[in-house]
Amino acid sequence: MNSWDELLSPYKQAVEELKVKLKGIREQYQKSSNHTPIEFVTGRVKPVSSILNKAARKQISFEHLEQEIQDLAGVRIVTQFVEDIETVIELIRKRTDFEILEERDYILEQKPSGYRSYHLIIFYPVQTIHGEKKIQVELQVRTLSMNFWATIEHSLRYKYSGEIPEDISMRLMRASEAAFKLDEEMSIIRDEVREAQRLLLAKHHSQDVQ
């Protein structure tokens, strides 16, 4: 086994375990009568090429990668509505199988690029043949529209080697605002539909009583 395989193996294990646990939460909601806050869950371990680029950019040695790079392992939780993000965050905060080290709210305070998401850095314990190893994992919680925007922006950043032309950056910023407005509008529509359903049920109940 080479040094990269040895280093990243527990991170791959952590990602797979967290995906199973979070998908389990989604399934529990689906089996209940409650709205499911989790639309889907994905995860990945950072590719070696990306690790090397980040390490070179930040002047991090191989020996300090695990301490200095917090997103070697990443799990993404995608929701339908902005309100679902807070529900998911509260579910994560209540868990006892890992420790939250840091939270970053890029929804209230978006990045200059227009990026929006809620990040949590956790210490996740992985059981290995050498004993327990606590590793850092980055959890990202975002809506479908935030995820769509971030996916396109990431592919463009890769295409332009990190230097997106200014005119495209401005258009991406406008697209980010449009995506956020879409989230807000969909939340309003959902609330109006729920209220209409509530009134309809109340009317039917009233008629049944009579």
Of 86, 138, 177, 184, which residue is the catalytic one?
Answer: 138
Is 99 annotated as catalytic?
no
Amino acid at the residue 61: S
Which token pair is 39?
A: 């639309």
Which token pair is 150?
A: 């971030």
Task: Quote the distance between the C-alpha of residue 184 and its chain's center.
Answer: 19
CA distance 123 to 70: 10
Say which residues have a Cβ less than 8 Å from residue 69's Cβ, sequence separation at least 6.
46, 51, 54, 55, 60
* Sign, CA torsion 96/97/98/103: negative
* CB 28, CB 63: distance < 8 Å: no
Which token pair is 178?
A: 């449009």
Q: Considering just the CA atoms, what is the radius of gyration of the chain in Å?
A: 21
Active site residues: 138
